[in-house]
Amino acid sequence: MTEKSRTPWRMAPVFAAIALLSAPMSGPSSALAQPKPSPAAAAAQSEARPAAGRSYEVTFRQLGALFPLQLRGVQGTGGVQFGVRGDEVVTRARLHLNYAYSPALLPEISHLRVLVNEQVVATIPVPNEQGGQALQRVIDIPTRLIGEFNRLNVELIGHYTMDCEDPAHTSLWANVGNDSRLELSVDPLALANDLAFLPEPFFDRRDYRPLTLPIVFAGTPDAAQLEAAGTVSSWFGALAGFRGASFPAAVGQIPAKGHAVVLALGAQGVPGLSLPASSGPSVTMASHPTDPAAKLLIIRGRDAQELKRAATALAVGAPALSGPTAMISEFKQIEPRKPYDAPNWLAKDRPVKFGELAQKEMLSVSGHAPDLIRVNFQVPPDLFAWRKQDIPVHIKYRYTPQNGADKSTLNINVNEQFLRALPLRAADYTPPSRVHSWLDRVLPAPTLAAGDLLPAEDFFNVPLFKLPARSQLQFHYFHEIKKEGACKDVLLDNVRGTVEPDSTIDITGFSHFLAMPDLAAFGNSGFPFSRLADLSESAVVLPPKPEQGDLSAYLSLMGLMGNVTGYPAHAVTVALGNGQIDALADKDLLVIASSANSPLLEQWASHLPFSLKADSKGFRLSDYASRLLNWWDPDQRDRAKPGRNAITFTSASSDAVIAGFESPLQGGRSVVLLASNQPAGLQQAVTALLTPDLLRHIQGSAAVVRGKQVDSLVAEQTYHVGQLDPVTRVQWWLSRHPLALIVLGVAAAALIAFMLYIVLRAKARARLQKG
């Protein structure tokens, strides 16, 4: 989903009234009537305060260039986008460019151009003696050219001969490494304390870096306060999107620098921060006491329930807030979410249009060598595709047609795997069909004016097995360049192509059924907790006295849940210790613990595929040799029996383990456990879940995280979640039990034979009686 497509749920009128207590401001005080002021206007109104600037670097890969930029032809272009936060101003910008170019380029008439927002900032010569070498160059970028959203392009102007040349000749190339870096030095801008800026400055969509936002508890938090904090972190996690987000926790102390969120009850205070007594649920933006450029988002209530009300109002109604403080006078109960209705997931009850998944301007390209059209989408991880057709896609597209038949195609890929190619027909193409010929006589053929795009549509299927939870459809227009002969090959830059926003992808009709545990489904989609986007059937179990590492892990995991669903987890339940664990039998459980302070690890020891103690570790391993010898056993083939191998050793390392198993409290419910023998080790597990290169190794039913290494040790699937219709359930069960199928076949054959025997014997007896 795009950031634009996530906004509707935040704008829903889910609360009846919000009273705003604001400092004197010009204009009406109503948040709905007053437009949000721009950051520049706020900076002009607020008092300028000196603050130290900072410098940071981002690579082209971090900005979205997954591969090196390939520049081809006489005028090849590639680039990346970058943004500048609204509370910062750029004081210096430098580009560290890693590049190479063809040794066949003529240096007199060839060069590379670097452009920022379509304005040239540097021209790089291409001398022959450096052709084909890996080169580096540092380029200063004038800060006056940099705005909030920016486009950095590198363009090849290439020629290989002074005579007539082929504009698509293979010697016309240059590569720009995606390890090239953009270095920015920025100074902070002092913003007014106004909730109308939300979610800025705590999250800024112009900042492509991962979000790190500390959450501070004024005092030792109880379960309700943790639920409120989880609502806030999941909201920011949903906003962060592809960037990812982490939320370091602190108790009783705000960080010395940077933005932070503070949660306080009643008269609770934080050292260095003066807070008046709370008079009800409220949300306040205040200046940081030791960092003039930073803000604090303070959420308060007289009791835990008011604190949760304020946090939920912030998560679902932030666009309506304004002024330094907003008092939540009334809040209507939010309707519970339905299964699989997460805003970031494809709807299961209707076809979803591409316009809901990508912005319209991102569905159009131009030029003979255009970039890909990308459509990102997420599917529920438990779609059951056994003996089921693949996911159908109805694509509508338009393109600039050629005058005659050629080999131009629209190539379709999913996750960089080729699916099919659709031919781009010429403007005068006539389908070889008698029906079309008859229609052409009756109805006049549509005529295209010069420059018009030819409409077309088609259907194709996407194999479900090619789709991880987060997938991308990629459309590439390939335009054949016709060879007209010497000195006749001229490329006109008038070629365009689009994928229409009303194209659809459809997952209706699929059942939901999945073998569990499946840590890959948890890591990529938060499943099974994300089945309900508000996590109303999920509970998080923390130690009776959670430490800072436990709290940080919990908040970051709630951010991950918001990231995969696109919705705040305002209905999650938090339990401290196992005193009330029986009351959570009807929920899926996310348990966060270190072995030293969690009684649940001892209580459920027989269900765990590992043991972690202060001085020793033990793991159960999959027994692959036994599975090969017992291939006929469906439980062994489907890994439904525990592994027989085990290993125990002594170590002082802070390893972390992520494990999944069926809830001991109720069948069909799931438990996912994050545990470490030391509290600091939990951060390793969270980091692995937030790092794509490590996340792909988290699979099966147990994975151990050791620093930057992740190993899946056990892959035991012991139960299933979801439902199948009775006929499909019987067919699927028989497919997993071939011996039972053989026995049933023999029994059916015997029964049919016996019935035939009875019938034939009766006929023979009747014939004898007649004789």
* Residue 725 predicted with pLDDT over 90: no
Give the per-residue pLDDT at 20. 43
- CB of 61 within 8 A of CB of 117? no
Return phi, psi of residue 369, to 5°: -130, 70
Nearest to 179 by CA among 80, 102, 91: 80
Separation of alpha carbons 608 and 364, rounded Å:
51
Mean pLDDT of the chain: 81
CA 59, chain centre distance (Å): 20
**Which stretch of 45-49, 175-179, 414-418 has the lowest confidence by average pLDDT?**
45-49
Give the per-residue pLDDT at 297. 95
pLDDT per residue over 460-481, tens digit each?
999 888 788 889 999 999 888 7
**Which stretch of 255-264, 596-605, 724-733 has the lowest confidence by average pLDDT?**
596-605
**Vertex 691: Cα angle to 690 and 693 (nearest 5):** 150
- CB of 474 within 8 A of CB of 414? yes
When mean pLDDT is compared over 118-132, 360-374, 653-667, 668-682, the highest value belongs to 118-132
Nearest to 93 by CA among 101, 102, 84: 84
CB-based burial label for 732 (10 Å; 0-12, 13-18, 19+): middle
- CB of 563 within 8 A of CB of 239? no
Mean pLDDT of 727-752: 79
**What ranges in 526-670 are assigned the alpha helix state H?**
548-565, 599-603, 624-629, 634-637
When mean pLDDT is compared over 125-129, 365-369, 452-456, the highest value belongs to 125-129
Separation of alpha carbons 77 and 309, rounded Å:
51
Separation of alpha carbons 464 and 381, rounded Å:
10
**Model pTM above 0.75:** yes
Please count the other Cβ atoms lying within 10 Å of the Cβ belonging to residue 711.
Answer: 12
Separation of alpha carbons 155 and 41, rounded Å:
36
* Residue 595 predicted with pLDDT over 90: no
Mean pLDDT of 139-159: 94
Give the per-residue pLDDT at 468. 83
Q: Which residues partner with 135 through β-bridges?
A: 99
Separation of alpha carbons 468 and 470, rounded Å:
5
How distant, in Å, are the alpha carbons of 63, 120, 297 from that of 304? 41, 57, 17
**Total residue length of the chain:** 771
CA 30, chain centre distance (Å): 35
**What ranges in 462-534 are assigned the alpha helix state H?**
519-525
Helix count (H) and strand count (E) of the chain? 14, 42
Nearest to 489 by CA among 74, 107, 76: 74
pLDDT per residue over 218-274, tens digit each?
889 999 999 999 999 999 999 999 889 999 999 989 999 999 999 998 878 788 888
Six token digits for residue 329: 């006078």
